[in-house]
Amino acid sequence: MNRIVKWAGYGLAGVVGACALAVGGAFAVSEAMIRWPVDKPRVALVASSDPGAVERGRKVARLNGCHDCHGQQLEGLKFHDEMPIIRAWGPNLSLALAEQTDADFDAAVRHGVAADGRRLWMMPSSAFAHLTDQEMADLMAYLRTYKPTGVKQPRFQVGPVGRLGVLLGKFKSEPDAIRANGRLQIADAGPEYAKGREIARTCIECHGQTLEGAEFLKSPDLTIAASYDAEDFEKLMRTGIAAGDRKLGLMTAVGPSRFSALSSEEISALHGYLKARAQRQFAAAETAQIQ
């Protein structure tokens, strides 16, 4: 009897040992995937210096939420705490600005590669890849108005569920996400909607590369905007309150912090574009049904 118990004990120890090895191995592989360095992109961006540059850059920063993740003084902050997936801090950019060139910032913002060659995670570079050279140069002029303040922030912590996501390819580093997106663009609805389409690039971060909605954030396909009338849409953009006076989650936070920076004309152009995009999509679905 004792012997059986003993052997069962060995067996159990073996299973536990094998599990520990598997967990340790998975940890090591995910850690290597997170840290694997990438080649730094060769970029030569220089901040704009004309009189309107800082103001234009301020709007680019507002619309793209730089302060939401990097703090009002760019001192950095913890913006996401969702263990066992991930806990993440926006780094202190006011300190980074003192050490890095405009081109270093461009490599991070539009290519997802930090000045020290590490691949970035959780920094939405795959959405910011759509910024034009002019927007990026204006943004730099604005960021350069900040002086060093605060302390260095920790780098993110990835929990077991987050690591599983990395191993399964569900969570990608930003350079990998940019590569995977390839030439995918949001739909072109014709020249009369060009202005609205330009503004809609700022929705990509949370609504997906083609505005099709994102599983991770549970955000809808932006065809939903076609069901909004002009008044409700403007209210959603300015206050984050949805049609029917509904308070939402993240969307209710980003209305006031980001999209209230848009003028009424811009909001109307954005709505026009989203309606035209939805119409094209509905028409395509109908054609597919007839065939």
State the Cα–Cα distance between residues 141 and 192, nearest whole angstrom. 31
First to last CA, the chain: 72
State the Cα–Cα distance between residues 85 and 208, nearest whole angstrom. 20
Under 8 Å between Cβ of 207 and 222: yes
Residue numbers 30-89 binding ligand HEC by CB under 6 A: 61, 64-66, 68-70, 79, 88
- Nearest CA among 198, 201, 212, 190 for reference residue 269: 198
**Residue 217 near ligand HEC by CB under 6 A:** yes
**Residue 137 near ligand HEC by CB under 6 A:** no
Q: Which two tokens stand for residue 9?
A: 């004990």
Q: Which two tokens stand for residue 54?
A: 């800082």
**Residue 109 near ligand HEC by CB under 6 A:** yes
Whats the size of the chain, residue-wise?
291
**Residue 193 near ligand HEC by CB under 6 A:** no
**Residue 177 near ligand HEC by CB under 6 A:** no
Neighbours of 55 (CB within 10 A): 11
Number of residues that bind ligand HEC (CB under 6 A): 48
**Residue 242 near ligand HEC by CB under 6 A:** yes
Cis peptide before 84 (omega within 30 of 0): yes
**Residue 202 near ligand HEC by CB under 6 A:** yes
**Residue 273 near ligand HEC by CB under 6 A:** no
CB 13 → ligand HEC: shortest distance, Å? 38
Binding residues (CB under 6 A) for ligand HEC: these are 61, 64-66, 68-70, 79, 88, 90-91, 93, 96, 105, 108-109, 114-115, 120-124, 128, 139, 155, 202-203, 205-207, 217-220, 222, 224-225, 236, 242-243, 248-252, 254, 259
